[in-house]
Structure 1
Amino acid sequence: MNYLNLENVTKMYGEKVLFDNIALQVNQGQKVALVAKNGSGKTTLLRVIAGEEPAEGEAASVYLHRDVRIGFLNQDPEFFEEHTILEAVLDSDNAMIRAVRDYEYAMLFPNDTEAMHQAIAKMDDLKAWDFEARIREVLTKLEVSDLNQLVRNLSGGQKKRLALAKLIIEEPEFLILDEPTNHLDLDMIEWLEEYLQQPRITLFMVTHDRYFLERVCNIIVELDQGQLYRYTGSYSDFLEKKTTRHEVEAAELDKAKKLLKRELNWVRRMPKARGTKAKSRVSAFEDLKEEVEQVRSNDEMRIDIKGQRMGKKILEAHNIGKSYGEKVLVEGFSYKFRKGERVGIVGPNGAGKTTFLKLLTKELRTDTGKVVLGGNTVFGYYTQDGIQLASDRRVIDVVQDIAEFIPLEKGQKLTAPQLLERFLFNRKQQQVYVSQLSGGERRRLYLLTVLMENPNFLILDEPTNDLDIITLNVLEDFLLDFPGCIIIVSHDRYFMDKIVEHLFVFEGQGHIRDFPGNYTEYREVRLQEDRERRRQEREVEEQKQKTVKPAKAAPSALSQEERKELKRLEKKILKLEEEKAALTEQFNDSSLGPEEITELSKKLAALNEALEEQELRWMELAEQA
């Protein structure tokens, strides 16, 4: 079944063409990822598909199957700010979700027995108890808690997780996701990975998480210079096939250049008075010239900034600790950094990773212990908050505010405009206002401002968010060659595996474990430890069962008359429940008038009262028995 069909779709912003006359199909069961450079129009294409932006082009058409339920995860989800989390996540037309919402509201007011009985009856009718358990599982996995908290008090990352939870709970057949792994910790990402692998889910998403691409997607679509290129297979298949395409294009370009040279010689030799045939050839020459001039740009971001010399003492933490109230984030941590160390930091959201970095840079004071900084240590701190600049600043102004030039290896210097070009900001883009940059372009510019400080100790807090794969590859190569120290907090498993040599693992209650290896190696060890712990727990439980002697059955505390009464109550309760079900069914009659509804409500209230009385007596006797 065809879920999505795009034909002849174009999108432009001023003179910039994001995509030109493109076509795209997504069929049931396919899991498609869209990859492209930052600023190429990935998010815009998603918004066109989701119907949030119009498609342009004379014959443009966007077809979405009308019987397929679609869910769209935006990068900046919007909610009614005065809603609670519970109201926001269960705001739906889905009958099952509405039943769960009524039940959750009834649980908040246990004294309203009528509302509680009605909610329970509705849950029973729709068989929604398993679904309610599924909702709780999703909210727990994505750490959406405190259901009475107002949406306006949530951070951007919490809103993104709330939107993702709401989307998964709705269970749409076709998911359109824009960077779904942003703001998720590693355990959440792996859980989401498993969920999206289900055969029933059809997927179209943008992500730069390369492990996610490898394990979830079976089709990758690349948006390159306004055109779409489709590759079947995983991310590794995509890399192989893309390389082949570029080799073919390079060969064709070489042929076109040679032909252009011959045609240029012919045009120069031709007299001014040309015939029809000659004019046709000149026209063909102009077309060929335009084709060659639109040659693929193989510019890649290059980083060869010289780092400052480090001293013998770099950075030392001596028994440091930090708490907020009863929450202990860091306790008794000690470590001496050595030259060239590359450390990754992992742990759940809220474990204290960012606080830990601020302690090391002395942005926060420790409660206990001390941090000693070497005399030659210069931090380059890339924070989660990103670049904070006025909207009227141009890209070139941002860089020149820091320095007009920076030192390179071998005594050379690089001017601010030249440096920006190496970061894929051409001279035209350098005059663009910061407010006009895409999220990934802003991140790239921010990274440049950090490196321009010429640091020898880099601290990167979620540097991979919103960066395209090309920028990530170049950043990885730079970090591998960087002579100073590096600390990285990232949820990008591929990035961590490639860069870090050992990990600081936040295990809770302020304990930080120094693990000798990358993230994948840590996960394997943790899985083995979990299996061993469960095995030991089973052995302890089995041993308990062997040592505990079975207790003798206690004689019944009920008299013969009370035992008869218990059996009569069971039959009576069953009959009352049948009467209640029949009475409840009458409310579904749309022809009922107000007086009849009032009368039925009185009967139902009396029936509920009788049922409660019988159940209380049954519970008394059952407890005695």
Structure 2
Amino acid sequence: MAGQNLVNLESVTAHVPGDASRVLLDAVSLGIERGERVGVVGLNGGGKTTLLEVLSGRREPNAGRVSRLGGLKLAYLTQGDDFPKGSTVRDVVLAEYGSDHEWASDAKARDVLGGLGIRDLERSTDGLSGGEKRRVALARALLGEPDLVVLDEPTNHLDIEGVTWLAEHLIARRCGVVVVTHDRWFLDSVCTRTWEVANGQVESYLGGYQDWVYARAERTKQADAAEARRRNLARKELAWLRRGPPARTSKPRYRIEAAEALIADVPPPRNSVELLNFATNRLGRTVLELEDATVKIGERTLLDHQTWRLGPGDRIGIVGVNGSGKTTLLRALTGERPLDGGKRVQGTTVQLAQLTQDLVDLPKDMRVLEAVEAVAKYVRFGKEEMTASQVAERLGFPPARQWTPVGRLSGGERRRLQLTRLLMAEPNVLLLDEPTNDLDVDTLTNLEDLLDGWPGTLIVVSHDRYLTERVCDTVVALFGDGRITHLPGGIEEYLRRRAIQGTDTSAPQTGPSAKATGSAAPKAVDAAAQRVARKEAQRLERRMTQLTKRAEQLHTKLAEAATDPQKLIELSSELKQVQAEQEQVEVEWLEAAERAEA
């Protein structure tokens, strides 16, 4: 029944185990309704995972009461993917099914296994990679008929297609969902409500990530001077959102208009011309080039006589399925991985830095600020000069935390320190391999803000769709055909091409009975209807842009005609017609967008 709470928290308090002085949840009261999809955001270490543990019953609160609907079926995905030693994928995922025929006849089971790319059911879990373990654990959580699914960082290790599939799958289900993730595109696509965990409290907002940004922009309008930097950052982030395709927000229109007033004078996130001038002065004409390059991974050809030239100020995102060779391509660019044919050219003025997925050794005998200042005490991003302490704070190290010994940092904090030290070295070519791992939403926003003013050539490999679209001007893809394919339409074009190309949807390998189980491919979609809907949505977007420009022109003419009553009446009438059409086109766009995603 809609509106029925599955779980209620009443005045719940929880602190760090063994340290009653560090309160993570302070007299929190909230509930999750059946069918509601809630995204949980907040700083790392702020209590998001603790909230999930209390909701799911994995942890008892230190005070307060938790009540659950009788007979509640709950599935919980933790951040750790530990399986019984010696178990197989089948043991973990399909334990509740008696035979291959039983799970193969279950459409939902086939959808989950196919969507997550799980095919070899007899494989031992002991030898799985981190990404493979994540997919197996996620499949275990999604199978069955839970009333409530609680997911802690489910998008970690998933590629863009995996994240897209997971979003569509959760939207199609009718169960409640509570999810902690730093993937902002996922939050905006899936969630009907957002919980922000901060300072022991949980604030609830209707809608997904964009709605949360709107709410923060409204809230910061009344903020005091001490919050000035955060206010400007929220306004800049909102400006970015509103310059993209029309936001699919659940906020009333009058609240959107109020939020838009906050960003009326905010410049674009990046001054591309100015940054290009900076980059050209620092780099010259030649940056990195692969000429007639061939790269092989075992028997597979990653690059087949490809020529790729990176210029000063280029901002390029590289996308592809897991295992497509994105990291190998970065290593070829840096020269770490020799080419199997062709040649690599590097400009004489290039100062290259790379953030890898592996943690590097850091000076454990230093404190955080000392480790940053050991690289440099000041750094310049475009026209802005910042101290080492300011950069460290922007990347998640508040002043008090900057005096923590490096040896006592968590894995996520060490990765943030690694990134901070890279930026302090002022490289003019920066390669980032999955930079969003272990970063919370606020830290990601700050990183993007820093990169907005960074004058150099930027190459990003990330499954974070939002970050790629936010900081990169160009997207290229590895489709497994030996080429580097430029995508003028960005990630949307990548997903369309992958759908047309077709993924490997063979059934999971189950031994001799594999043929009898049938295909484990995800449920087929009407691709033709989706393409028609996408074209319609694009046409409506163009019309909305035209109407917006016309409305701006009419507002200007109204101001100029202040002393001409007759002209004012004519212009006002036309403006009302334009605004009415804007609302109608917006409704039609939303409907087309829904059909395109169905």
| TM-score scaled by length of structure 1 | 0.66
Gaps of 5+ in 2: 229-269, 503-523, 529-598
For the residue of structure 2 that corresponds to 1:197, the secondary structure is helix
Supply the distance in 2 between the matched residues of 1:67 and 1:500 (Cα, whole angstroms).
48
- Listed one character per residue, the Cα deviations across residues 552-609 of structure 1 (whole Å, up to 9, x for unaligned) are xxxxxxxxxxxxxxxxxxxxxxxxxxxxxxxxxxxxxxxxxxxxxxxxxxxxxxxxxx
Residues 466, 422 of structure 1: CA spacing in aligned structure 2 closer, same or farther, 3 A cutoff?
Answer: closer
AA at the equivalent of 1:68: L
1:64 and 2:37 matched = no
List aligned pairs for 1:475-554, cutoff 5 A. Answer: 475-523=447-495
> How far did residue 398 of structure 1 move?
3.3
**Counterpart in 2 of 1:207?**
181
**Counterpart in 1 of 2:204?**
230
List aligned pairs for 1:133-144, cutoff 5 A. Answer: 134-144=108-118
1:471 and 2:443 matched = yes
**Counterpart in 2 of 1:44?**
50
**Counterpart in 1 of 2:308?**
335
Supply the distance in 1 between the matched residues of 2:415 and 2:377 (Cα, whole angstroms).
21
**Counterpart in 1 of 2:89?**
85
Supply the distance in 2 between the matched residues of 1:515 and 1:475 (Cα, whole angstroms).
25
Q: Report if aligned partners of 1:501, 1:517 keep a CA contact under 8 Å in 2.
A: no
Q: Report if aligned partners of 2:363, 2:371 keep a CA contact under 8 Å in 1.
A: no
Supply the distance in 2 between the matched residues of 1:165 and 1:180 (Cα, whole angstroms).
10
Supply the distance in 2 between the matched residues of 1:412 and 1:475 (Cα, whole angstroms).
15
Aligned residues with identical type, % of pairs: 38
Supply the distance in 1 between the matched residues of 2:399 and 2:207 (Cα, whole angstroms).
38
- Listed one character per residue, the Cα deviations across residues 414-436 of structure 1 (whole Å, up to 9, x for unaligned) are 65445434444233212224465
Supply the distance in 2 between the matched residues of 1:329 and 1:190 (Cα, whole angstroms).
25
AA at the equivalent of 1:324: I
**Counterpart in 2 of 1:190?**
164
> How far did residue 515 of structure 1 move?
2.1
AA at the equivalent of 1:310: L
For the residue of structure 2 that corresponds to 1:170, the secondary structure is coil
1:444 and 2:448 matched = no
Supply the distance in 2 between the matched residues of 1:414 and 1:478 (Cα, whole angstroms).
10
**Counterpart in 1 of 2:240?**
none
- Listed one character per residue, the Cα deviations across residues 220-246 of structure 1 (whole Å, up to 9, x for unaligned) are 111122211111123322222233334
- Listed one character per residue, the Cα deviations across residues 436-480 of structure 1 (whole Å, up to 9, x for unaligned) are 545554443222022122211111111122322222222223323
1:175 and 2:179 matched = no
Supply the distance in 2 between the matched residues of 1:233 and 1:371 (Cα, whole angstroms).
48
Residues 36, 438 of structure 1: CA spacing in aligned structure 2 closer, same or farther, 3 A cutoff?
Answer: farther
Supply the distance in 1 between the matched residues of 2:123 and 2:455 (Cα, whole angstroms).
46
- Listed one character per residue, the Cα deviations across residues 152-206 of structure 1 (whole Å, up to 9, x for unaligned) are 2112121111100111123422110111111111111111111100251210111
**Counterpart in 2 of 1:9?**
12
**Counterpart in 1 of 2:377?**
405
**Counterpart in 2 of 1:345?**
318
**Counterpart in 2 of 1:221?**
195
Residues 171, 372 of structure 1: CA spacing in aligned structure 2 closer, same or farther, 3 A cutoff?
Answer: farther
AA at the equivalent of 1:449: R
**Counterpart in 2 of 1:74?**
78
For the residue of structure 2 that corresponds to 1:520, the secondary structure is helix
AA at the equivalent of 1:450: L
For the residue of structure 1 that corresponds to 2:447, the secondary structure is helix
**Correspondence for 2:216 among 239, 242, 245:** 242
Supply the distance in 1 between the matched residues of 2:469 and 2:205 (Cα, whole angstroms).
26
For the residue of structure 1 that corresponds to 2:216, the secondary structure is helix
Residues 159, 389 of structure 1: CA spacing in aligned structure 2 closer, same or farther, 3 A cutoff?
Answer: farther
Supply the distance in 2 between the matched residues of 1:502 and 1:383 (Cα, whole angstroms).
21
Supply the distance in 2 between the matched residues of 1:375 and 1:162 (Cα, whole angstroms).
47
List aligned pairs for 1:279-298, cutoff 5 A. Answer: none
**Counterpart in 2 of 1:19?**
25
- Listed one character per residue, the Cα deviations across residues 88-112 of structure 1 (whole Å, up to 9, x for unaligned) are 2223xx3xx2x13xx4xxxxxxxxx
> How far did residue 397 of structure 1 move?
4.5
Q: Report if aligned partners of 1:39, 1:438 keep a CA contact under 8 Å in 2.
A: no
**Correspondence for 1:326 among 299, 323, 329:** 299
**Correspondence for 1:461 among 422, 433, 445:** 433
Which structure's CA Rg is the greater one?
1
For the residue of structure 1 that corresponds to 2:345, the secondary structure is strand
Q: Report if aligned partners of 1:39, 1:441 keep a CA contact under 8 Å in 2.
A: no
- Listed one character per residue, the Cα deviations across residues 295-338 of structure 1 (whole Å, up to 9, x for unaligned) are xxxxxxxx9x9989213321110122222332222222211111
Residues 316, 129 of structure 1: CA spacing in aligned structure 2 closer, same or farther, 3 A cutoff?
Answer: closer
Q: Report if aligned partners of 1:37, 1:468 keep a CA contact under 8 Å in 2.
A: yes
> How far did residue 510 of structure 1 move?
2.5
Supply the distance in 2 between the matched residues of 1:163 and 1:231 (Cα, whole angstroms).
29
1:371 and 2:344 matched = yes
For the residue of structure 2 that corresponds to 1:511, the secondary structure is coil
AA at the equivalent of 2:294: G
Q: Report if aligned partners of 1:38, 1:441 keep a CA contact under 8 Å in 2.
A: no
Supply the distance in 2 between the matched residues of 1:457 and 1:324 (Cα, whole angstroms).
25
Supply the distance in 2 between the matched residues of 1:194 and 1:28 (Cα, whole angstroms).
18
Supply the distance in 2 between the matched residues of 1:415 and 1:221 (Cα, whole angstroms).
33
Equivalenced residue count is: 452
**Correspondence for 1:381 among 335, 354, 357:** 354
Q: After alignment, is 33-42 or 424-433 more displaced?
A: 424-433
For the residue of structure 2 that corresponds to 1:380, the secondary structure is strand
Supply the distance in 1 between the matched residues of 2:399 and 2:184 (Cα, whole angstroms).
31
Residues 82, 140 of structure 1: CA spacing in aligned structure 2 closer, same or farther, 3 A cutoff?
Answer: same
Residues 385, 140 of structure 1: CA spacing in aligned structure 2 closer, same or farther, 3 A cutoff?
Answer: farther
**Counterpart in 2 of 1:358?**
331
For the residue of structure 1 that corresponds to 2:282, the secondary structure is coil
Supply the distance in 1 between the matched residues of 2:301 and 2:8 (Cα, whole angstroms).
52
Supply the distance in 2 between the matched residues of 1:241 and 1:134 (Cα, whole angstroms).
37
Supply the distance in 1 between the matched residues of 2:386 and 2:218 (Cα, whole angstroms).
35
Supply the distance in 1 between the matched residues of 2:57 and 2:403 (Cα, whole angstroms).
32
> How far did residue 358 of structure 1 move?
0.6
**Counterpart in 2 of 1:297?**
none
**Counterpart in 2 of 1:548?**
none
Residues 203, 438 of structure 1: CA spacing in aligned structure 2 closer, same or farther, 3 A cutoff?
Answer: farther
AA at the equivalent of 1:130: S
For the residue of structure 1 that corresponds to 2:451, the secondary structure is helix
Supply the distance in 1 between the matched residues of 2:299 and 2:207 (Cα, whole angstroms).
50
Supply the distance in 2 between the matched residues of 1:360 and 1:410 (Cα, whole angstroms).
25
Q: Report if aligned partners of 1:179, 1:206 keep a CA contact under 8 Å in 2.
A: yes
AA at the equivalent of 1:202: G
> How far did residue 83 of structure 1 move?
1.2
> How far did residue 534 of structure 1 move?
8.4
Q: Report if aligned partners of 2:294, 2:341 keep a CA contact under 8 Å in 1.
A: yes
Q: Report if aligned partners of 2:352, 2:427 keep a CA contact under 8 Å in 1.
A: yes
Supply the distance in 1 between the matched residues of 2:337 and 2:296 (Cα, whole angstroms).
12
For the residue of structure 1 that corresponds to 2:133, the secondary structure is helix
Q: Report if aligned partners of 1:330, 1:352 keep a CA contact under 8 Å in 2.
A: no
Q: Report if aligned partners of 1:55, 1:61 keep a CA contact under 8 Å in 2.
A: yes
Supply the distance in 2 between the matched residues of 1:534 and 1:246 (Cα, whole angstroms).
43
Q: Report if aligned partners of 2:382, 2:454 keep a CA contact under 8 Å in 1.
A: no
For the residue of structure 1 that corresponds to 2:40, the secondary structure is strand
